[in-house]
Amino acid sequence: MNGRNSTDENHNELELLRIENKDLTEKLETLRLKRKQDHPKLVEYDKNVAELNALRDFKTKMLESNKRLQRTLQEKEKELGELVKSSHEKEEWVTEIEHRLELMTIEKEVAEEKAELLQGDIEAEKQRAQNLEDELKALRSQIEKTGEDLAQACFLLSLRDFSSRMTEDKRKLEQENEKLSDETAKLVKICENLQKDLQTAEQNITTLREQIDANLESENIIEALTQKNDELEKKLSALEETVEDFESIRTMDEEIIEAQKENEKELKNDLDLANGRNNDARCFRTSSNLKSKFFPNFTLFPSLPLFEKQELPWVDGGVSFCQQHLITDSDDDALLFQNFLREN
């Protein structure tokens, strides 16, 4: 009766150990599955870290490029300021030249009108001189006819004075005409030079405007690059926050993995202990069945304790086990007991 109760207890304990073993195995599989599910997160984390490092390198390059562009922009702004200042000065100079050109054009027109008037006066004086010469010829003919010496002398004196005055007036008119011609030539030359200077100034203004447009385009490019740099910095900040989150998750995963390893180790130890206890119970039950069915002459020590893991009587040591814990008159019975253990 006691043997049956002991057998039932061992059977129940064996069932409990099997259930516990199954539960521990399921927990171990769950932990392995969780580690397998966490693997893509770790791969994504490594990918984000690599992308973050690439963005940091790109940010460094962009900052260096931005600094160079800022220096270039400052230099261009300085050059632009100088060009604008020079452009204003040249525009003022061109305006002054245009004003002077207008005045000289007006003076030229006045001089031309004056020259035309003088030319008309010269023509009138020439005509007058011609008329006087004709009159002189007529008077000479008349004097020759009349033979009046006194009248002729007076007339000749008057005629000489008149001729001298006419000659002097003609000389003055010719000098003034030459002077006006020289001034007209100078004015024409000055006008030509002013036209050349005006064309040069217009070309310089066109060049300056092209340079200003180019500088404005460079400034627009720099503004676009600066805006792109700001967008990249925002993206980098977002990625840094994401990486920090992933680092926190990775830290938690590492802690979970460590805890899983500890649990797995404990579960393995518990599983080994349960297997050992299962083997102990199976061995003890087998030995009890062996005694009651096949070896009634064996006397099992009543004080034989349940075996711990380190004291487990393995099948290979069956002969020694029989010699230590069973009383028999033959070693053949012990070998028979060993074969029974191997079969069961």
**pLDDT on residue 338:** 55
pLDDT tens for each residue of 203-242: 777 777 777 677 667 667 777 777 777 777 777 777 777 7
pLDDT (average), residues 88-107: 77
DSSP output for 19-49: HHHHHHHHHHHHHHHHHHHHHHHHHHHHHHH
Q: Of 63-77, 105-119, 213-227, which gets the smallest average pLDDT?
A: 213-227
pLDDT tens for each residue of 252-276: 767 777 776 777 777 777 777 777 7
Top mean pLDDT of 103-117, 158-172, 298-312 is at 103-117
Residue 33 — pLDDT band, cuts 50, 70, 90?
Answer: confident
Residues 75 and 163 both lie in one domain: yes
Task: Output the six-digit token pair for 104.
Answer: 């000289």
The model carries a pTM of: 0.32
Q: The domain spanning residue 278 has which CATH number? A: 1.10.287.950
The answer to whether residue 337 scores a pLDDT higher than 50 is yes
Residues 277 and 310 both lie in one domain: no
Q: Name the nearest CA neighbour of 115 among 185, 203, 190, 206.
A: 185
Residues 285 and 309 both lie in one domain: no
Residues 190 and 303 both lie in one domain: no
- Residue 332: domain span: 294-344
**pLDDT on residue 151:** 55
d(CA 251, CA 257): 10
Domains in the chain: how many in total? Answer: 2
**pLDDT on residue 269:** 78
Q: Of 10-14, 262-266, 311-315, which gets the smallest average pLDDT?
A: 311-315
- Average pLDDT of the chain, as a whole number: 69
CA dihedral 242, 247, 250, 254 (to 10 degrees): -170
**pLDDT on residue 17:** 78
Q: Which of 256, 277, 293 delimits the end of a domain?
A: 293
d(CA 12, CA 18): 10
